[in-house]
Amino acid sequence: MAAKDRISRREFFARAASAVGAGLCAPHILTSGALGAEGRPPASDRIVSGHIGVGGRGSGFLSRDSAAVCDVDEAHATRAAKMVESNGGKADIYKDYRDLLDRQDIDVVFIASPDHWHGLHTVHACEAGKDVYCEKPACKTIEEGRAMVNAAKRYGRVVQIGSQGRSTPAAHAAAQYVRNGQIGKVQKVTCWHYENPVGGWEPDTDPPPGLDWDCWLGPCPWVPYNPMRCHFNFRWFMEYGAGNIRDRGAHVFSNIMWATDCDNTGPVGVETTGEPPHDGMYDCPVKMDVKYEFKNPDWVLTWSQPGQKEMDAAFGCKYWGDKDTLVVTGGDGGCGTEQKAMEYQVPAGGVRLFKSPGHEQNFFDCVKSRQQPIMHIEAGHRTATLCIIGNISYLLGRKLHWDPVKEQFIGDDEANRLLSRNNRAPYFL
């Protein structure tokens, strides 16, 4: 019997493109293996996916091969199931993500729940034997991030973090340009991003019908429902999204960590100043300045809201070397960089970085090959660490010294108490 015939249906696949359903979900990436015949590939060639969090971004991962959708908001889950149906598939609806993870027919899980849920969902998915694509930022605390890494390693799972900038040609070109010394020794990297919103006040109300508010909060402290807290605007609360430094910073920093070869390390110091809204419900700093110190080699990373714009881009970063500079605009799926980097050809013996075929495609390829994806969980955790410790420095109002090996603050007991979250029962890692 040929090896291909022996391999079970779950193991040998190509993912089909899905038609856009009602214009609501982005098209999935076509794989070369999917073409050749009209209609769906045979069942043995498909990856079956489950989806946790299908409101905004999460709906973009849906396809005909989505077997289950889970959301604490019934309206989101129902809409997502209809989208799958309109693409020729059928997705069961769940409210409790553990019921979805119990499904033995599901190979991979896409996690696009609010940020404060990413750690629990990913760890539990790995413990249930699933490979995971988890949206950025990877985690809310250092403890969660390390737990995600450990769970993936313990079970040999493939975990991709959704910092899709790494899969763009511009980020690849920029990282390769920097890694090959084209700007010389990196002395600093400066990031800019527009300010966080100020917000206002809304009265607390009962949650809308179909939204399980307690489940939405999950491990976070209980507060009454307020329409300003969810869905999208969770980003502007330190307890949930913690501002653009975690939201967009996870994108921008991921490319910087790649370009500077820091996926397995971190800074040794962080100092943040910021100004929160003077009124209203939001508590993320509207303006902020963060400075990270790296050692061996020595360089500095800064994140500024608003900072100094380059190339008229809303956000991005600039590398300052001892020979030259390089601007990278954006950092998410809409990355751009200077022509010199795009045109750069790596010489023989130079550093060649893996070029991703696309972030989701890379994930599926790795599910098959069992190799590490381009934004594997260790890299995701290290990137999120920058965001987290930057915010901790802001909260405590002081400079902090960080040990990137032990992943602890040095000489600051209060800061170290914030490395983990004291989760509300029963939402435990």
Partner 1 sequence: MQYSERKRFVGALSLAVALCIGSPKPTVFGAATPEEVKAFLAKIQDANADARYAAWKSAGPLGAPAVASLAQLLVNENKGVAKAASEALNTIAHYASRPGADEERRAVSKELAGLPDAKQPQVVRVKALELLALTACDDCVPRLASFLQEEKLRDDVRRTLERIPGKASVQALMDALKTMPEEFRPAILHSLAQKNAAEALDAIVDCAESPNKEIAIAAYQAISRIDGVPSRRPQAAVAWGQLSEREKMLVGDAFLRFADKRAAAGDTEMSLGIYRAVLARTDVDSTQEHFKCAALIGLGKYGSVSDVPLMISALAHESAAVRHVAEEALVSMGDPGMNAALEQASATASPELKTSVGKILFRRQRS
Give me the residues that bind partner 1 (CB under 8 A), please. Answer: 3, 6-8, 10-11, 98, 102, 104, 126-129, 153-157, 201, 221, 276, 278-280, 283, 368-370, 395-398, 411-414, 417-418, 420, 422-426, 428
Q: What is the closest distance, in whole angstroms, from the C-beta atom of residue 412 to partner 1 in the complex?
A: 6
Q: Which is nearer to partner 1, 104 or 345 (CB)?
A: 104
Q: What is the closest distance, in whole angstroms, from the C-beta atom of residue 126 to partner 1 in the complex?
A: 8
Q: Which is nearer to partner 1, 268 or 342 (CB)?
A: 268
Starting from the edge strand earliest in sequence, which strands make up the sheet with 287-294, in order? 336-337, 325-329, 315-321, 186-193, 299-305, 287-294, 269-275, 400-403, 408-409
Q: What is the closest distance, in whole angstroms, from the C-beta atom of residue 384 to partner 1 in the complex?
A: 20
Q: Which is nearer to partner 1, 264 or 369 (CB)?
A: 369
Helices 377-396 and 142-155 sit at what angle, rounded to 10 degrees?
A: 170
Three-class HEC string of 106-139:
CCEEEECCCHHHHHHHHHHHHHCCCEEEECCCCC
Q: What is the closest distance, in whole angstroms, from the C-beta atom of residue 198 to partner 1 in the complex?
A: 10
Q: What is the closest distance, in whole angstroms, from the C-beta atom of residue 63 to partner 1 in the complex?
A: 21
Starting from the edge strand earliest in sequence, which strands make up the sheet with 131-134, in order? 92-94, 66-70, 49-52, 108-111, 131-134, 159-161
Tokens representing residue 182 in the block:
């084209």
Q: Which is nearer to partner 1, 57 or 368 (CB)?
A: 368
Alpha-carbon distances, residue 152 vs 123, 128, 429 (angstroms): 8, 11, 14
Q: Which is nearer to partner 1, 154 or 352 (CB)?
A: 154
Torsion 154-156-162-165 (CA) sign: positive
Q: Which is nearer to partner 1, 111 or 171 (CB)?
A: 111
Q: Which is nearer to partner 1, 154 or 185 (CB)?
A: 154
Q: What is the closest distance, in whole angstroms, from the C-beta atom of residue 277 to partner 1 in the complex?
A: 9
User: How many Cβ atoms sit within 10 Å of the Cβ of residue 13?
Assistant: 24
Tokens representing residue 8 in the block:
């079970």
Q: Which of 314, 352, 351, 307 is nearest to 331 (CA)?
A: 314
Q: CB-based contacts of 261: which residues, under 8 Å, 6+ apart? A: 179
Q: Which of 384, 367, 426 is nearest to 130 (CA)?
A: 367
Q: What is the closest distance, in whole angstroms, from the C-beta atom of residue 368 to partner 1 in the complex?
A: 7
Q: What is the closest distance, in whole angstroms, from the C-beta atom of residue 288 to partner 1 in the complex?
A: 14
Beta bridge partners of 376: 160
Q: Which is nearer to partner 1, 65 or 73 (CB)?
A: 65
Q: Which is nearer to partner 1, 223 or 346 (CB)?
A: 223
Q: Which is nearer to partner 1, 354 or 428 (CB)?
A: 428
Q: What is the closest distance, in whole angstroms, from the C-beta atom of residue 196 to partner 1 in the complex?
A: 15
Q: What is the closest distance, in whole angstroms, from the C-beta atom of residue 371 to partner 1 in the complex?
A: 9
| Residue 416 near residue 106 (C-beta atoms within 8 A) | no
Strands 408-409 and 159-161: unpaired
